[in-house]
């Protein structure tokens, strides 16, 4: 089916849609190119092919091959589709750039602070700039309308899943953390059906057990909301709805700052859309804590 004649993509949206559809069938090097374009569409119309290739860690000719695979006569024809892609304000603050450069010049711990600050701010701006309001609304409606909402995160994603569940349960009693201590995702999946929703999250390197749980939940008919770091990730392609937050970092671990911001945004939207009942539940939750003298007022 991938060798049949197809219409040439006429916009950056059509290019991205075709890349996502064909991603798993592309050769390894072309997958790297496709992933970079999917994750950084704003760069295609602004950077040279050589710069993109360096960032994607491939030979420049790989981008030419990808363009021809999509039906273009060369890379420049592909690039033309991205000329009008708005950068969305990313990196648009001269004061911030000057501050980061000054930190970098100082060296030592300041340089590390600067590189981490740059990565976190960039991830955060990209996450908010690239979010679809329509997708966020769908995710919120699915979670509010579901019989049960299971929150799944394994390994490094577990603390993120736990915090999202902890905050969401203040306003809603149908949110369930999966797995819990001493249990497996399967223990919850066997009880799922089309009335339920699974919010699953995994980030590079992606967890096989998370993807397996998603496949099982889909077979049960549950709606799947995937939260990950790339539109090209398997979780994003397998889910009924994918939400993406970049996790790029100059350090040896992935940055969770933008993911945490996305989850906090979902919590805020949940309580607002949940109406008076959700607001009252949050107030009752905190009132009970104050009555139990849990908080320190000093």
The candidate with the shortest Cα–Cα distance to 223, out of 197, 260, 187, is: 197
Quote the pLDDT of residue 104: 65
Quote the pLDDT of residue 298: 67
The CATH code that applies to domain 12-80 is: 1.10.10.10
Quote the pLDDT of residue 99: 57
Quote the pLDDT of residue 114: 80
State the number of CA atoms in the 13 A half-sphere of 178 facing the CB: 27
Contact, 249 vs 224, CB < 8 A? no
Quote the pLDDT of residue 100: 58
Contact, 153 vs 162, CB < 8 A? yes
What separation, in Å, do the N-terminal and C-terminal C-alpha atoms of the chain show? 68
Q: What is the pLDDT along the chain (298 residues), one digit of tens a residue?
A: 454 556 888 888 789 889 988 998 999 999 999 999 988 887 888 888 999 999 999 999 999 999 999 999 999 999 888 875 533 333 334 555 665 566 667 676 777 788 888 889 989 998 999 899 999 999 999 999 999 999 999 999 999 999 999 999 999 999 999 998 878 889 999 999 999 999 999 998 899 999 999 999 999 999 999 999 988 888 998 999 999 999 988 777 789 999 999 999 999 999 999 999 999 999 999 899 888 888 887 6
Query: What homologous superfamily is domain 133-291 in, according to CATH?
Result: Glucose-6-phosphate isomerase like protein; domain 1 (3.40.50.10490)
pTM: 0.74
Quote the pLDDT of residue 90: 38
Please name the residues in contact with 282: beta carbons below 8 A apart, sequence gap of 6 or more.
Answer: 170, 171, 271
Contact, 115 vs 89, CB < 8 A? no
């Amino acid at each position: 089916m991938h060798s049949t004649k197809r219409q040439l993509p006429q916009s950056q949206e059509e290019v991205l849609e075709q890349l996502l559809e064909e991603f798993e069938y592309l050769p390894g090097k072309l997958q790297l190119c496709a992933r970079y374009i999917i994750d950084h569409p704003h760069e295609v119309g602004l950077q040279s092919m050589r710069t993109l290739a360096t960032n994607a860690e491939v030979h420049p000719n790989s981008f030419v091959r990808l363009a021809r695979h999509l039906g273009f006569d060369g890379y420049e024809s592909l690039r033309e589709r991205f000329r009008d892609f708005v950068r969305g304000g990313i990196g648009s603050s001269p004061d911030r750039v000057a501050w980061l450069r000054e930190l970098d010049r100082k060296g030592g711990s300041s340089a590390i602070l600067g590189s981490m600050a740059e990565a976190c701010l960039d991830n955060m701006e990209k996450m908010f700039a690239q979010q679809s309001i329509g997708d966020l609304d769908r995710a919120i409606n699915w979670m509010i309308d579901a019989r049960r909402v299971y929150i799944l995160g394994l390994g490094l994603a577990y603390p993120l899943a736990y915090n999202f569940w902890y905050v969401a349960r203040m306003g809603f009693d149908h949110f369930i953390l999966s797995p819990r201590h001493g249990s497996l995702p399967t223990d919850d999946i066997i009880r799922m059906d089309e009335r339920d929703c699974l919010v699953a999250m995994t980030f590079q390197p992606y967890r096989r057990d998370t993807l397996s749980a998603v496949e099982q939940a889909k077979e049960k008919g549950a709606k799947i909301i995937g939260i990950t770091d790339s539109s090209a990730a398997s979780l994003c392609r397998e889910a009924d709805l994918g939400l993406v937050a970049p996790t790029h970092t100059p350090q040896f671990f992935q940055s969770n700052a933008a993911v945490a911001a996305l989850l906090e945004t979902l919590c805020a939207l949940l309580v607002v859309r949940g109406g008076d009942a959700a607001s009252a539940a949050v107030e009752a939750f905190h009132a009970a804590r104050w009555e139990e003298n849990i908080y320190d007022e000093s």
